[in-house]
Chain A
Amino acid sequence: MSLEVVLQSIFSAAFIATVIRVATPLILPAMGGLLSDLGGVINIALEGIMLAAAFTGVIVSGFAPQWFPGAPAWSYPWLGALAGVLVGMAMGWLIAFFHLELKTDIILTGLAMNILASGATVFLMFSFTGDKGSTSTLASARLPSLQIPFVNNVPVLGTLLNGENGTGYNIMSYLAFALVAVIWIFLYRTPAGAHLRATGEMPDAAQSVGIDIRRVRYQALVASGFCAALGGLYLSMGYLSIFQANMTAGRGFIALAVIFLGNRNPIGALIAALIFGTASALGTRLGTMAIPPQFVEMIPPAVTIAALIIYNIRRRARINAAARRFQEQTAP
């Protein structure tokens, strides 16, 4: 009986709509993390950047009527989003500056940024709103949802394309999928993308052919700040419409795992993010049944570790095979 219910709920259009909503704040930071990771500068601070952008978006859009008295009301969410994106890019730049100019360890710098974001958001939230838990007293704006016209009357398609209540997905969800395509084209079809990959794979070789690896890495980290900021903005201005202390809840770290699970390419990362999203949506849905949701939530991280193990075993086998061939060829 219960298996039937589970299967029914998984293969419903409403469930797929939930998965897309849950996966959006994983896809966006994962795309950012992918760019910097391929450039050879791992960004551990996705979590902190998301948090800082989520906070900035809510505060700026909430205070926009006071801060920008001339601006029309429709612009408030966009002002918030713009500020959030700028904060994210600034944090990306700061990581690049500390790592590339002051020679800090990039992992520790990323961790410091996470700590900074979790401290500064609560600290500033208290001084702006007098509350340490959330900004529920502040009327902040939401980024719009896009409704695809004419499909709502079609039974399954309507739910699939416009969500359960037919209002459409948040604009950030569309942006997430678009970004996957854009980044794929950038990485594999443009010279700049090739330069980025070369910088990560073989910095010395890249430099020797005239690629300015320092510049590429600056750009990669700023771009990763941009993408992660979009993910954070979705959380506080789409998924919810308030900021809560530490509302990212580890999504930035999951996004890192998504990159590795997706074999460090955009399509793979998209699939991995959807797997995580499915597990998470399933966890909430199973909460009402006999299976504890925590058990389901354990599956994606366990899968990530398993995927890393398989990946490394296969890589090792490949290297060993190549070494054997080399020995056979060079043997007298």
Chain B
Amino acid sequence: MNMKGMTKFVEPVRIIAVVLIALAIGFVITALVSKEPVQAYTALLTGPLPRLSFENGFEIKNINRFGNWLEESTTLILLGLAVSIVFRARQFSLGAEGQMLLGALMTAVIALKLSLPFPAHMLLALAAAMIIGFLWGLIPGLLKAYLSVDEIVSTLMLNVIALQLFDLLLFNWLRDPAAGFVGTVPFPTSAVLPLLIPGTRVSFMTILMLIAVVVVWFLMARTPFGFELKMLGANRKFAEYGGINTKRVIALSMAVSGILAGLAGAHLSMGLLKRLTINLSPGLGFEGIVVALLARNDPRWVLLAGLFYGYLRTGAQIMERSSDVTREVVLIIQAIIILLITAERLFPFVQQWVQLRRSREEVVVEAG
């Protein structure tokens, strides 16, 4: 087997091994605190599956759990795509959280302050979310490209500003004063994403998400922009010598990534909640990172990684309801996955360590 074939074969095995190790550590941690760890972990790992029942004719049970899985995965895949674009260009933009919030905010503005007939209203709200995501990503992109402003700090600060903007407009303009919580009135049906699977909240966004996967894949694999992203990610100096306008690519990578994060925000407001509420989903914007890492920034694998991680998150919610273990165990598993998957020298390190011990033992044996 040639080298390229080798790495192609080794990478998936390594990633699967990492996931299994992380799940195993998660089980050990569960066993430490739970009285019924096996039951809890079974709920985590099989909970989201629908059950087929043949008792009174053919029937699918727990379709809502299956729906939760798809809903969760739709958001995660959009965020994973967003992160994979910037990571491919080796830009550490952490702005998905803010872009997502503003995307949701814009949908609320369009949904509640304009009245339009059905498809136009919904499409306008979606477009608004994508545009605000693009612009909110363009800011750190331009700052990095033309002024070398560190994108980690700028995106984290823009996240804070986005959150405050969100609260500002929600408290002072969009809020429904009659509601018992801080939130808007439900969106008019003309601005709600059409339902795809009855009995769930799986909506038109899931189809849009699939289209997004194809578009991002096409963008990365079949367009000059995709090639430029890859070159920039491999070596900025080299890309510059090759005649690539790296400044333009840096700025655009963050802006295009923002479009997808904005869509993820639109999914939360127009698809899942059908309104805007405070504390929309703190920290969700960072969840795209684990998806992109598992997928090695390849959009096709983002689809799979997002489904996997969405499955785990849904399973964790079911586990929390049916056992004495909280859903946060999935965050611990996620952290372990990120740590191990980025540890390029993990397996060589373990190998070295084992060899070292073996050679020491041999020395001891020879000495004895």
Contacts and interface: CB of A to CB of B under 8 A. Distances in A.
A103 B147 contact: no
Contacts of B148: 312, 315-316
Contact of A312 (B147, B160, B349): B147
A294 B168 contact: yes
Interface in A244-293: 246, 250, 253-254, 256-257, 260, 292
How many interface residues does chain A have, given as a range? 35 or more
Interface residues of B, number: 47
B256 interface: no
Given A98-B339, A112-B339, A123 B286 contact: no
Given A102-B346, A301-B160, A112 B335 contact: yes
A309 B145 CA distance: 12
A119 B328 contact: yes
B80 to A, nearest CB: 14
A140 interface: no
Given A123-B328, A294-B171, A305-B158, A111 B338 contact: yes
B331 interface: yes
- Do most interface residues of chain A lie in helix, strand or loop, or is the interface mixed? helix
A120 B325 CA distance: 12
Nearest to A310: B147
Contact of A118 (B29, B157, B326, B331): B331
A313 B149 CA distance: 10
Given A103-B344, A108-B293, A116-B331, 20 more contacts: A103-B345, A108-B289, A109-B342, A111-B94, A111-B289, A112-B334, A112-B335, A112-B339, A115-B286, A115-B335, A119-B331, A119-B335, A120-B331, A123-B29, A132-B326, A260-B153, A305-B154, A308-B143, A308-B147, A308-B153
B147 to A, nearest CB: 5
Contacts of A105: 342
A115 B331 CA distance: 6
Interface string A71-107: 0000000000000000000000000001001111101
Contacts of A115: 286, 331, 334-335, 338
A123 B92 contact: no
B21 interface: no
5 contacts: A118-B283, A122-B328, A294-B164, A308-B154, A312-B148
B282 interface: yes
B7 interface: no
A188 interface: no
Interface in B333-364: 334-336, 338-339, 342-346, 349
Contact of B172 (A102, A109, A113, A292): A292
A103 B153 contact: no
A102 B18 CA distance: 14
B349 A102 contact: yes
B176 interface: no
Given A103-B343, A257-B157, A308 B168 contact: no
Interface in B24-47: 29, 33
A135 B361 CA distance: 49
Contacts of B326: 122-123, 126, 132
A297 interface: yes
A257 B343 CA distance: 27
B332 interface: yes
A116 B332 contact: yes
A212 to B, nearest CB: 19
B345 A101 contact: yes
Contacts of A295: 164, 168
Contact of B33 (A112, A127, A253): A127
Nearest to A127: B33
Given A111-B289, A115-B334, A118-B331, A309 B149 contact: yes
A41 B261 CA distance: 29
A290 to B, nearest CB: 11
A298 interface: yes
Given A104-B344, A115-B335, A257 B167 contact: no
B283 A102 contact: no
Contacts of A292: 168, 171-172
B330 interface: yes
List the 10 shortest-distance A-B pairs measured between CB atoms, nearest first: A119-B331, A116-B335, A301-B157, A102-B343, A112-B338, A127-B33, A294-B168, A104-B342, A294-B164, A123-B328
A302 interface: yes
B334 to A, nearest CB: 6
B342 A253 contact: no
B329 interface: yes
A302 B344 CA distance: 37
B295 to A, nearest CB: 14
B152 interface: yes
Given A102-B346, A118-B283, A294 B289 contact: no
Contacts of A113: 335
B149 A305 contact: yes
B156 interface: yes
B299 to A, nearest CB: 20
B343 A98 contact: yes
Nearest to B345: A103
A304 B342 contact: no
A112 B168 CA distance: 30
A48 to B, nearest CB: 9
Given A112-B339, A295-B164, A312-B147, A257 B153 contact: yes
Interface in B168-203: 168, 171-172
B167 A294 contact: yes
B165 interface: yes
Contacts of B92: 107
A213 interface: no
A316 to B, nearest CB: 8
Contacts of A112: 334-336, 338-339, 342
B40 to A, nearest CB: 12
Contacts of A118: 283, 328, 331
